Structure 1
Amino acid sequence: MTGITATTRVQLVTTIGLCFLVALMEGLDLQAAGIAAQGMAAAFGLDKMQMGWVFSAGILGLLPGAFVGGWLADRIGRKKVLMASVALFGLFSLVTAVAWDYHSLVAARCLTGVGLGAALPNLIALTSEAAGPRLRGTAVSMMYCGVPLGAALAAVIGIIGFSGGWKVVFYVGGVVPLLIVPLLGRYLPESAQFQADQSGGERSEANGVWHGLFRNGAASATLLLWLSYFFTLMVVYILVNWLPSLLVAQGFDARQAGWVMLALQLGAAVGTLALGALMDRLPAWAMSLLIYLGILGSLTALGMAVTLPAMLAAGFVAGLFATGGQGVLYAFTPLFYPTRMRATGVGSAVAVGRLGAMSGPLIAGKMLALGTGTAGVMLASAPGIVLAAAAMFCLSRRGGSRQAD
């Protein structure tokens, strides 16, 4: 962090640290439904398609949450929207734990998703703007590694198997975010770039969202980002939501499945940091090839592995490239939008990615209902990864011509 003042350094460390805590809780809640799936299905008598809707309800909430959260942040500030988002997903995580029937469970997951979706664009915008262009990739990766670590924490809770059963992970995912909100209010600095733009009159036009996403040559970057987000998140959420159940169906017990999920999320944390560091050193096109070839290889390994050690290794590599690559996407996206549109641009890409994330568990549930098994689900994911790789490669060849302030 050479070349920045002591005050700026303190603000950057504080921003990364607090945003990391939020990302940790976001990761825990995103993984919670997958970890609790067996217990929820037994408690409410749900079949595979109904569980697919429980998974997808949370992701459905992420879609409007991401877009509206980004849009509001460009108007009233990143900090205010982030605090409201964290309070929202904490509250409805608690409601998930006390849901009384299938419909209340789906509604609670959907509203939890709204809060989670609104938080992420603000985490990315706050961190990237605090870091500046030179440190942006590293800073966003350091913050975002909280997501897989939070998911790993959820896996640990599942492995330990507290007496509270499947509800424990939702109690943790509800109480801790509500405790974080006052810390954000007291210590999190608002984005200096956002404040400068506001004081200078550089406000986003209320009716100019689509114009800002597609004007002045931005259309191709926006569309390529959307395509890459859609298919990358589709695969990530198939793994996050269905992998524990797929492993149980293959003959592994719930504890072994928990260990594989822990390996997946530890790989994701390592991948987020390692790939984020490589992003500052390798050309973007090389990063694209590395990430998506890694995803394809790990999906193949997951479909073929039959022993626990092989599945643990495959899970680690899948997390490294799939979630780690997702972190690189999040660090890459702010480069293509100016401050007054940054949270909106990131939020729109995240929202489109959530469409892929929502469709993934539903497609996997349908394929499993048809009897395709784990290998069939992994094989069906491959074409989407090829399309995401092509989109990211084309975008990276633009060379950051729209790198923002």
Structure 2
Amino acid sequence: MSSSTTQVQVRPTAGTVWVLGLCLIVAILEGLDLQSTGVAAPRMAREFGLSVSQLGIAFSAGMFGLLPGALLGGRLADLIGRKRVLLVSMVAFGAFSLLTAQTSTFATLLLARLLTGFGLGGAMPNLIALSAEAVPERLRNTAVSVMYCGMPLGGALAALIGVLSAGDTEWRHIFYAGGFGPLIIAPAILAWLPESHAYAAASSQANTTHGGPPSTLRVLFGEGRAATTAFIWISFFCTLIVLYFLLNWLPSLIVSRGLTRGQAGITQILFNVGSVIGVLSTGVLLDRVRPMRVVAAVYAGIAISLLMLAGAGNMLWLSLSVLLAGMGVVGAQSMLYALCAASYQTVMRGTGVGAAVAVGRFGSIVGPLAAGQLLAGGASATTVIAASIPVTVVAAVGALFVACRKN
């Protein structure tokens, strides 16, 4: 990548561990909230009398909020700092998660999830930027993966809450957990999370040299970045189609095969356990192996796991398939965040990552909606899962192009 801004070198310190630890906690809370609707879906459907198609709309409502939230949160991160935007985003998704628990109609449920998504979207670009800028470049992929493994950990926590839930109608407590958690942690972030030193130095230099941060169009398409940005967006979009289809519909698809809700919850926990393994191993490999090899292996693993899941007929086979799917799909998402963070300079990283996250959210909207429409039209779970494989291939092509530019 061409560069007109000097990169600020960061040395790891004890404070680095503190930054990554706090970002990990926020990511756990975000993961809990992102998967809460999928866990609560069967019980919500009974209370509100929702059809399969309406469930797809409910899943996608939060994704609609994530899109503008990521765009605005990423841009503001480069203008006023990562920490401030992260704090506001946390308070927003915590408060609106509590609002979700108070809803009594389908319309207010959609509004609450839309607003929650706005806060969640604003938080993610800042978590990525803070993690990437807390360590030297040679450790950047590992640092982002350490932070991002909080997402599947939060998802596993959501699934565990669902498994332990008493009764067939109680679903609001998972949103109470997703709401009070960020509000309790926010004061600790305010008091103890430092602003990115790399951002502060690069921002000061940009203000002196160029009169301020570069424009959004220059960040995304200037200085030879147009092709890289386009392929990052393609890969984000397609990967998130597959990821959010699985996150939202996996419990319902498993129940439709004759398993109990408890067994569905166990498989969702396994999905998130696999996700943690995939995220951590992918980040470490990216810092030690040629990125193209890691990208090719990860997406091949996704395709294989989807084939296994489509043909799974018993609990053991389903469990293995779901574990491998979690390793592949969530590992791929973490890998894309790391590749994206490395593709933009410090002074423009929030804008670049935020735009990629926002474009990816179109995929997170399309995935649950498309699956809902296919299922409502009579398609089997096997058909819907198999339809994700061509999407995975397109995502792999985009990621391979970006990885090739890094070699």
* TM-score, normalised by the number of residues in structure 1: 0.95
Matching residue of 2:149? 145
Q: Is the 8 A contact 2:10 2:134 kept in 1?
A: no
1:208 & 1:19 partners in 2: Cα distance? 27
User: Are residues 1:41 and 2:45 paired?
Assistant: yes
Is contact 1:69–1:347 with CA below 8 Å preserved after alignment?
yes
Q: Give runs of aligned pairs for residues 130-279 of structure 1, distance below 5 A.
A: 130-162=134-166, 165-202=170-207, 208-279=215-286
Equivalent pair of 1:28/1:173 in contact (CA under 8 Å) = yes
Deviation at 1:335, TM superposition (A): 1.0
Q: Distance in 1 between matches of 2:256 and 2:309?
A: 14
**1:395 corresponds to:** 402
* Percentage of identical aligned residues: 45
The equivalent position to 2:116 in structure 1, one of 105, 108, 112, is 112
For the pair 1:283 / 2:287, whether they are aligned, the reply is no
1:75–1:204 CA contact under 8 A, matched in 2: no
User: Does the aligned pair in 2 maintain the 1:74–1:204 contact within 8 Å?
Assistant: no
Distance in 2 between residues matched to 1:269 and 1:347, nearest whole Å = 23
Counterparts in 2 of 1:201 and 1:280: CA distance versus 1, 3 Å: closer
Secondary structure of the residue that 2:146 maps to in structure 1?
helix
Indicate how the Cα distance of structure 1 residues 257 and 391 shifts in structure 2: closer, same or farther if over 3 A, else same.
same
Distance 1:62 1:200, change over 3 A: same
User: Which amino acid letter does the alignment assign opposite residue 287 of structure 1?
Assistant: V
Counterpart of 2:378?
A: 371
In 2, the alpha carbon distance for the partners of 1:135 and 1:122 equals: 18
Q: Contact 2:203–2:213 (CA<8 Å) still a contact in 1? A: no
Distance verdict in 2 for CA 1:290–1:187, change over 3 Å: same
Hey, what's the Cα distance between the residues in 2 that align with 1:162 and 1:211?
A: 53
Helix, strand or coil for the counterpart of 1:137?
Answer: helix
Q: Retained in 1: the 8 A contact 2:38–2:251? A: yes
Q: Which residue of 2 aligns with 1:16?
A: 20
Q: Which residue type is aligned with residue 355 of structure 2?
A: S
One-letter amino acid matched to 2:349:
R
Tell me, in whole angstroms, the C-alpha distance in 2 between the residues paired with 1:102 and 1:206. 42
Single out whichever of 147-156 and 276-285 deviates more from structure 2.
276-285
1:345–1:243 Cα change, 3 Å? same
Distance in 1 between residues matched to 2:350 and 2:92, nearest whole Å: 19
**Would you say how many aligned residue pairs link Structure 1 and Structure 2?**
396
* Correspondent of 1:74 among 71, 78, 81: 78
Query: 1:370, CA displacement in angstroms?
Result: 1.2
Q: Which runs of 4+ in 1 moved over 4 A?
A: 203-207
Q: Say if 2:10 and 2:198, in contact at 8 Å, map to a contact too.
A: no
| Equivalent position amino acid for 1:391 in 2 | G
Whole-Å separation in 2 of the counterparts to 1:210 and 1:162: 51
List runs of 5+ in structure 2 lacking aligned partners. 1-8
Q: Deviations over 1:12-42 (max 9, x none)?
A: 1111000000000010011100000011111
Q: Give CA-to-partner distance per residue, 1:78-110, whole Å, 9 cap, x none.
A: 000000000000001110011121110000001
**What SS does the corresponding residue of 2:137 show, helix, strand or coil?**
coil
Structure 1, unpaired ranges of 5+: 401-405
User: Cα RMSD between the aligned structures?
Assistant: 1.5
AA aligned opposite 1:185: L
Encode CA deviations 1:133-155: one digit per residue, 9 max, x unaligned. 01101111111100000000001
Task: Quote how far apart the aligned CAs of 1:197 are.
Answer: 2.3
User: In the TM superposition, what is the alpha-carbon distance from 1:339 to its structure 2 partner?
Assistant: 1.3
- How far 1:200 moved relative to its partner? 2.6
